[in-house]
Structure 1
Amino acid sequence: MRKGFSLIELYIVIAVLAIIAIASIPTLRNFYERKTLENIMWQLAQDLRIAREKAIVQQQDLIAYIGEDEYYIEFMQYGMLQNPQIYNIHFVPGDANSRYFKIVKLPKNIKLQFISPTVSINGKNYLGVVFKAGGNANEIRGQAKIVNLLSGRTLYSDSNIDNNGVVITGKSMSINLSYSIKIMATGKISL
């Protein structure tokens, strides 16, 4: 009566396990890429929702700058930190990181895309979305608009978002996968 495995049987089992492991690497990589993209897009949607809520609660317009490989979310107007306070003066990309401005750099294999007018800041183009505090008679609280003209730190012009909303698409460059966020004129954000 024989106990245990022979060396050949052990090699066969190891070879089979190695083949299974090698075959599963692309699947695991795709899973990791999909989860990374999902997490980034979910976090962007959450950051936009928080900016909208803060605009309503703090009664100040707040801007989100969305670039191809990074995004910036303003959580307090730069001008509100001045003495005396200056309305409509904003943080901009390139400012030193502060507790009032969230900066997120994306992994190299993930890019954000959008079809909308952009603002140029420090040589880079950004989709600028301003969440309105509702201080004017023609604005509702939390309304989203597109930034048209930003000079230095001052917001000079914004325009309404049409009925189709603004779509921000996150794409993985290594696998064929994308997720989208839609921002409606009312400020509603959906993933």
Structure 2
Amino acid sequence: MQRGVTLIELLLCIAILSIFSSMAVPTIGQSLAKQELENSTRQLVADIRWLQQISINSGVDTTAYVLIFKYTAPYGYYITANTQRIKAVTFPPSVNLSGQFSSISFSLNGAPKNSAQSVALYSPKLKESKYVILAPVTGRVRISSSISTQPEE
């Protein structure tokens, strides 16, 4: 009658578990990078929509509320109200930022005051970009996997 496991059985189980875990680690890293890119993109879209709403609600047609991008590491942006910083966001190290405009502000009707239309968030680990596209007339904000200005079907 055997009461335990032998050292060989224990080492064999550890070897099998280490092989499976070594195959899973790259997949976990890719999933984490993808999630960071998605979360950063959604946070940016939510903050642009919030900025648009507070600009409309302020009732004053000025650039009192502005979102300003930071295109150097660590990448991110901040939101100001009358030159006072009210929110700062820093992207994870796996997310880079590039785009056409340095700041976003809205008029009373919700239309952006600048004519640039997109900001790209890029993950070097995934070699993938997500684009935040801002419609120049209506102020509609959306996320796209391509730079196309046409809405995705």
Please indicate the TM-score interval, normalised by the length of the shorter structure: 0.7 to 0.9
Give the superposition deviation at 1:63: 1.8
4+ residue segments displaced more than 6 Å = none
Letter aligned with residue 128 of structure 1: S
Letter aligned with residue 144 of structure 1: P
Distance in 1 of aligned mates of 2:16 and 2:128: 31
TM-score (norm 2): 0.79
Q: Which residue of 2 aligns with 1:40?
A: 40
CA contact (8 A) 1:48 1:73 kept: no
1:177 paired residue among 128, 132, 135: 128
2:105 paired residue among 126, 130, 148: 130
Q: Which residue of 1 aligns with 2:30?
A: 30
Q: Which residue of 2 aligns with 1:190?
A: 142
CA contact (8 A) 2:52 2:106 kept: yes
Q: What does the per-residue CA deviation read over 1:6-49, in whole Å, with 9 as the maximum and x for residues that have no partner?
A: 22122111101011112211111111111111111111110000
Q: Which residue of 2 aligns with 1:106?
A: 91
Structure richer in strand, relative to its length: 1
TM-score (norm 1): 0.65
Q: What does the per-residue CA deviation read over 1:72-104, in whole Å, with 9 as the maximum and x for residues that have no partner?
A: 123x3x1xxxxxxxxxxxx2xxx6x4xxx2111
Structure richer in helix, relative to its length: 2
Distance in 2 of aligned mates of 1:67 and 1:182: 18
CA contact (8 A) 1:73 1:103 kept: yes
Letter aligned with residue 39 of structure 1: N
Identity %: 25
CA contact (8 A) 2:36 2:94 kept: no
Q: What does the per-residue CA deviation read over 1:112-153, in whole Å, with 9 as the maximum and x for residues that have no partner?
A: 111x2x4xxxxxxxx2221112xxxxxxx000121xxxxxxx
Q: Which residue of 2 aligns with 1:84?
A: none
